[in-house]
Structure 1
């Protein structure tokens, strides 16, 4: 981590400067109140030292809350590998035929997508990633980045398209943003190794609209092959297919409720999604990358078959700028800790002194049983009678 030494203050807590000012006012009021007692001329010995110690602790606390910091940049190796992921999240990707389906300990097709995306992420930890989601429209949801945490967050939050917003889709809908990204990369970083991974069941549901639009724009999978160094088309689903559960944002079904399935408009019965392997193979052939059909079963190809790409990964010393600051609070924290220990020891000493004073009683004499003093000759007893009579 390399920091530019330009000290500034940025409050560390959610309340911002308002919270800092409020705390400063409260600390100042507390010091003023205690000063009336500790700064008097007749105050006990050491009282002034106590007030100044507490003043120093208050100042250090206020400075820590104000957040003394410097802007920082982080230099780390940057890989020449760029990975573009096109992820189908249409309703058919919720078909329940991944590893036997939910009733048999498996899941839906998107569960398989998450696993394979994570395997690719782990295989190229220094690469830069871009994610294009595909449903009724294609959207670039994660621009090219090597922030692996952002990639992981996207993978973990992946869900199917809300059923009530579904309007049909096809893989060709991803061609415009993907083509734009690959062309920009080829022009700006021609030395980069570009890999494309497509995750889909290949089932077109837009009546050919996406393919027609791509053809009219002069876009095709074949046009992208010359810009690629590798990748794969990963298909999901079994030959028999499976039903697809509905998904509505913000609605959670009761555990014992019957699941609602996407219905076939022609029959009114739950629709069955069957992967279009011919479409997937056609896309793979156009891109010039291998095609793997994934079901979650034991006959699936291991993930290394599509992550072991024959490219030379080259690292360059790049520099990334983050909107982050390095807080210089640890030295102040050490000072505050020492002052707190000093204050604690002083309080313990004062408590012990008070305890000794309480045990000693007024005037410093130790309380005990009264011992009668001897009476001189000729004194009058308490009854008033003279001792020994009159002479």
Structure 2
């Protein structure tokens, strides 16, 4: 049991303690005075009146503090699915080694590569996964040189498709190096907020990236958010052999120049997918790693979502506090009735004497 303190504790103490002290002092003093005069045959009505008033002060103080008890309502939280898409928008996601594009030679000495970007695979898979879980809530967290929520949790699947159709790589000139944990802080905050609001929801995280890291900092671990994640997958794009990437200045240009190799500007730079890093992220999150090399079905990635199991594991139970005032209010009513009766008797006697 705890107190909700409808009336501030300080106000209760400042108001009740002096009155309580006065009542106790009167009761003790009156009893002592009468004990000296009459001993065993002394009337005790006055003493008990002050003790009753002291009890009334205590009960009213407890009512002001408003005691509460914890209660649990089984199945009180809503049940559903929430999907987070954590999308890599760095320049490496423009590498042209995903999907069923016609193989072409992009530069002398390079092996033929498909002319479809890794980011095209992301677009396909985001839309496909949203369609695989209709009626869910969706959120998109994207990262490049910075991370941010580009789509807050919404049940509007068309908003997800609209985002996927318009997402682009970062502007090449503003690239500040790739870190695969760039979205970790934003994702954790979003997951915790969602858990606090809707503890009964199933939370799925899909991390879509090529795993490449060019920044010098050691990446952080996703293990800290694993308890917040019920499922999902890490989806990998690209090949270990790598592929060139076109520059991007904010406008879509299919014939834009390739990003040059910093060691040999006469050749395009190659971005190589880092599958071991992606497998590590998957292990930290406690979800499977899946390599995506074409626009195949994603239904099997969400096939094991079981809302009945979630409802049975207790997370849909809602904990709350319930006020327990009525016993003390009832006691206060009885004491007030006794006080009124005492005053009525005293007034009647006083009128008869006059």
- Tell me how far apart the structure 2 counterparts of residues 262 and 294 of structure 1 sit (CA, whole Å): 24
Q: 2:148 maps to what in 1?
A: 139
Alpha carbons of 1:170 and 1:134: their partners in 2 closer, same or farther (altered >3 Å)?
same
Q: 2:27 maps to what in 1?
A: none
Runs of 4+ with >2 A deviation = 99-106, 250-253
Q: 2:337 maps to what in 1?
A: none
Q: 2:259 maps to what in 1?
A: 262
Say if 1:137 and 1:169, in contact at 8 Å, map to a contact too. Answer: no
Matched position secondary structure for 1:171: coil
Are positions 1:308 and 2:317 aligned together? no
TM-score by length of 2: 0.59
Deviation track 1:165-188 (CA, whole Å, cap 9, x = no partner) reads 111121211110001011112222
Say if 1:109 and 1:237, in contact at 8 Å, map to a contact too. Answer: yes
Say if 1:83 and 1:129, in contact at 8 Å, map to a contact too. Answer: yes
Q: 1:84 maps to what in 2?
A: 84
- Tell me how far apart the structure 1 counterparts of residues 179 and 186 of structure 2 sit (CA, whole Å): 14
Paired positions, count: 223
Say if 1:79 and 1:126, in contact at 8 Å, map to a contact too. Answer: no
Q: Supply the RMSD in Å over aligned alpha carbons.
A: 2.2
Q: What displacement does 1:95 show? A: 0.5
- Tell me how far apart the structure 1 counterparts of residues 195 and 133 of structure 2 sit (CA, whole Å): 20
Are positions 1:156 and 2:165 aligned together? yes
- Tell me how far apart the structure 2 counterparts of residues 188 and 85 of structure 1 sit (CA, whole Å): 19
Equivalent residues in 2 for 1:247-258 (5 A)? Answer: 247-250=248-251, 252=253
Say if 1:244 and 1:272, in contact at 8 Å, map to a contact too. Answer: yes
Q: What displacement does 1:266 show? A: 1.8
- Tell me how far apart the structure 2 counterparts of residues 153 and 100 of structure 1 sit (CA, whole Å): 23
Q: 2:46 maps to what in 1?
A: none
- Tell me how far apart the structure 2 counterparts of residues 249 and 163 of structure 1 sit (CA, whole Å): 9
- Tell me how far apart the structure 2 counterparts of residues 251 and 307 of structure 1 sit (CA, whole Å): 33
Alpha carbons of 1:148 and 1:287: their partners in 2 closer, same or farther (altered >3 Å)?
same
Q: 2:332 maps to what in 1?
A: none
Q: What displacement does 1:251 show? A: 6.1
Q: 1:283 maps to what in 2?
A: 281
Q: 2:342 maps to what in 1?
A: none
Say if 2:132 and 2:298, in contact at 8 Å, map to a contact too. Answer: no
Q: 2:120 maps to what in 1?
A: 111
Q: 1:224 maps to what in 2?
A: 225
TM-score by length of 1: 0.54
Q: 1:295 maps to what in 2?
A: 293
Q: What displacement does 1:304 show? A: 2.1
Say if 2:100 and 2:116, in contact at 8 Å, map to a contact too. Answer: yes
Say if 2:96 and 2:245, in contact at 8 Å, map to a contact too. Answer: yes
Say if 2:83 and 2:139, in contact at 8 Å, map to a contact too. Answer: yes
- Tell me how far apart the structure 1 counterparts of residues 97 and 79 of structure 2 sit (CA, whole Å): 36
Q: 1:26 maps to what in 2?
A: none
Q: Give unmatched runs, 5+ long, in structure 2.
A: 1-77, 105-113, 312-354
